[in-house]
Structure 1
């Protein structure tokens, strides 16, 4: 593939809905950020960290099947539904697979949708300096009907969409300035995310056991000095019995006498310390004044580097 992978443009966290006619709003999907590349001969799906995921999503591996452009880069989110709503746990059942046979079995069991919200390159021309309004028009012109691909709808009343997302218990919305260009690797206020459900990616530094099996994890985030700070523990979540069994087996090789946290966690009684190598995505209600999270729910284990779990997620 001749096209070089880009680091996607990111929204900043906001706490108020922006005003002005230049703003549109889109649903914030609880899935996996994915860019689709097609250079006219070969194609790749590559996530925000630059990792290839073409094997994991064979139904999306041919962008020419859902985009009429001769060459293209699309930006969007791959989601899987549970109970009619996007579920990060469900999409990770696909994203974490590496074996082709297992992927073939999972394709009909865990169907996915590619929710496309931007087009960055089309027919040999870069669109990064075009305003979002123009990129949206081009995306609409070039996307083809496909059972696993949809263009993300845009709404001109962000407050109304935020209210609807709250009623539907969705993750939140993203507000975008129609005049905004696309800055690869950038992150600024031209795109703003408003969360209904807070989330964090944290590393496990300890576990507790019940009847010989892991039943909860102690989580932390790194500061700029590389110190791991405890943010709370969680045992509730979407993990299955088999997930806990697999996790218990993983833990065996990580147990250590050295506590990895900068300070002794309040929930240290009965804890077994582990090397901070396992990363998880969690939903939670809010941050407590003590710096811990309230009512955390484990969504899934994710293959991210532990040092990417940073304290700046709290701001």
Structure 2
């Protein structure tokens, strides 16, 4: 500002300077901040927002660097899904096809998950899968052409950021197998 470097000033000092010169406009808007993190997080959960950036009040800005003074906290959701298939690209099982039952009892494809599992878990899943000729999901056209379909018997807990307009999961990650849950208990109404 006025020829002076701002990035080495503490966060709150930079905010004060920007507040003095800021003009809200059509394409610019001052970003809300608060020191009441607990209340903010309650609202993030309630409004189903993606998350927040938490920054140390006295932190400096270092372009292009990730630093412990500035962390992204994601509002991660969880859902129990039925494994409906798998793909085999880079390894024997590259990703798992996921499904949920709708209110009519139809099994719907909701995307695939390719992260979060270790080799031991993947081997366990592979040994339980029973391949079938035809898709077991109603909306199979939403799945990749290379999906190998299986009997919908195995339940897994999946973490994700949000659902898309087609009820597919954004940024899904495998959490664990759910041997305590029946496939028919995996309902689309779980999605938030």
TM score, norm. by length of structure 2: 0.60
Distance 1:289 1:314 in 2: 12
Q: Which has the higher contact order (CA 8 A, sep 6+)?
A: 2
Is 1:159 matched up with 2:36?
no
Is 1:285 matched up with 2:156?
no
SS at match of 1:220: strand
Offset at 1:212? 6.4
Change (3 A) 1:217 1:161: closer
Offset at 1:258? 2.5
Residue aligning to 2:140:
264
Post-superposition CA distance 1:231-269 (Å, at most 9, x none): 1111111x1112112221222xx1111311012243331
Is 1:236 matched up with 2:112?
no
Distance 2:96 2:132 in 1: 15
Q: Is the 8 A contact 1:213 1:245 kept in 2?
A: no
Residue aligning to 1:219:
98
TM score, norm. by length of structure 1: 0.38
Change (3 A) 1:314 1:211: closer
Q: Is the 8 A contact 2:84 2:97 kept in 1?
A: yes
Q: Is the 8 A contact 1:215 1:244 kept in 2?
A: no
Give the gaps of 5 or more residues in structure 1: 1-156, 172-195
Residue aligning to 1:310:
187
Post-superposition CA distance 1:178-236 (Å, at most 9, x none): xxxxxxxxxxxxxxxxxx21111110111112466222111111012210011111111
Distance 1:281 1:246 in 2: 15
Offset at 1:288? 1.0
Following TM superposition, where does structure 1 have runs of at least 4 consecutive aligned residues deviating by more than 3 angstroms? Answer: 160-163, 165-171
Distance 2:41 2:146 in 1: 45
RMSD: 2.7
Q: How many residues align?
A: 132
Change (3 A) 1:226 1:161: closer
Which one has the bigger strand percentage? Answer: 1
| Aligned with 2:127 (options 249, 269, 280) | 249
| Aligned with 2:80 (options 188, 201, 212) | 201
Q: Is the 8 A contact 1:214 1:247 kept in 2?
A: no
Distance 2:73 2:41 in 1: 11
Offset at 1:270? 1.4
Offset at 1:290? 2.0
Q: Is the 8 A contact 2:97 2:111 kept in 1?
A: yes
Residue aligning to 1:124:
none
Structure number with greater Rg is 2
Distance 2:73 2:80 in 1: 18
Q: Is the 8 A contact 2:109 2:143 kept in 1?
A: no
